[in-house]
Amino acid sequence: MKYSKKRNGKFIFVIIAIFVALGVWRYFQMNEGKDNNTFNSISGNASVIKYADGEYPSAESVLNFESFQENGEKTENTQSETETEQQTDDDTQVKAVWLSYLDIEDMLCQKSKEEFENNVSAAFDKIAEMGLNTVFAQVRPFSDALYPSEIFPFSYICTGTQGEDPGFDPLLIMVNEAHERNLKIEAWVNPFRVQLDSSKTLSDDNPAKAMLEEGAGDVKEYNGGIYYNPASQKARQLIADGISEIIENYDVDGIHFDDYFYPTKDEAFDAQEYEQYVKDGGELSLGDFRRENINKLVSLVYETIKAHDKTILLGISPQGNLKNNYDGQFIDIEKWLSEDGYIDYLCPQIYYGFNNSSLPYEQTVLSFKELAEKGNVKLYTGLAAYKIGQEDKWAGTSGKDEWKTAENILSRQVSYAESEGYDGFALFRYESLFSDGISQQMQSEKESLKNFISAQ
Domain ranges of the chain: 5-78, 94-454
The DSSP bridge partners found for residue 71 are none
* pLDDT, average across residues 310-330: 98
Q: Under a CB-based contact definition with an 8 Å cutoff, are residues 240 and 301 in contact?
A: yes
Q: How confident is the model at residue 17 (pLDDT cuts 50, 70, 90)?
A: low
Q: How confident is the model at residue 91 (pLDDT cuts 50, 70, 90)?
A: low
What are the C-alpha distances in Å from 189 to residues 61, 141, 246, 267, 422?
A: 46, 6, 10, 26, 24
* pLDDT, average across residues 5-24: 48
Structure-model confidence comparison of residues 273 and 16, the more confident one: 273
- Give the Cα separation of 173 and 189 in Å (integer): 17
DSSP per-residue string spanning 183-239: -EEEEEE-SSEEESSTTS---TT-HHHHHHHHTSSSEEEETTEEEE-TT-HHHHHHH
- Least-confidence region, from 34-38, 70-74, 119-123, 431-435: 70-74
- Give the Cα separation of 5 and 3 in Å (integer): 7
Percentage of residues of the chain with pLDDT beyond 70? 80
The model's pLDDT over 424-441, given as tens digits with 9 standing for 90+, comes to 999 999 999 999 999 999
pLDDT for position 297: 98
DSSP per-residue string spanning 269-284: GGHHHHHHHHHTT---
Q: How confident is the model at residue 272 (pLDDT cuts 50, 70, 90)?
A: very high
Q: How confident is the model at residue 90 (pLDDT cuts 50, 70, 90)?
A: low
- Give the Cα separation of 280 and 188 in Å (integer): 36
pLDDT for position 198: 85
- Give the Cα separation of 177 and 172 in Å (integer): 9
The model's pLDDT over 440-452, given as tens digits with 9 standing for 90+, comes to 999 999 999 999 9
What are the C-alpha distances in Å from 388 to residues 406, 413, 426, 428, 452?
A: 9, 13, 15, 11, 18
Q: Exposed, middle or buried by CB within 10 Å (0-12, 13-18, 19+), for 152?
A: buried
94-454 — its CATH code?
A: 3.20.20.80
Please, what is the average pLDDT of the chain? Answer: 86
DSSP per-residue string spanning 316-363: E--BS-HHHIIIII---HHHHHHSSSS-SEE--B----TT-SSS-HHH
The model's pLDDT over 105-161, given as tens digits with 9 standing for 90+, comes to 999 999 999 999 999 999 999 999 999 999 999 999 999 999 999 999 999 999 999
- Kindly state the DSSP code that residue 385 receives in the 8-state scheme: G
Contacts of 404 (CB under 8 A, 6+ apart): 389, 390, 391
pLDDT for position 62: 31
- pLDDT of 310 > 50? The answer is yes
* pLDDT, average across residues 316-330: 98
The model's pLDDT over 215-239, given as tens digits with 9 standing for 90+, comes to 999 999 999 999 999 999 999 999 9
pLDDT for position 64: 34
The DSSP bridge partners found for residue 226 are 195, 221
* pLDDT, average across residues 19-42: 43
Q: How confident is the model at residue 385 (pLDDT cuts 50, 70, 90)?
A: very high
Q: Under a CB-based contact definition with an 8 Å cutoff, are residues 169 and 199 in contact?
A: no
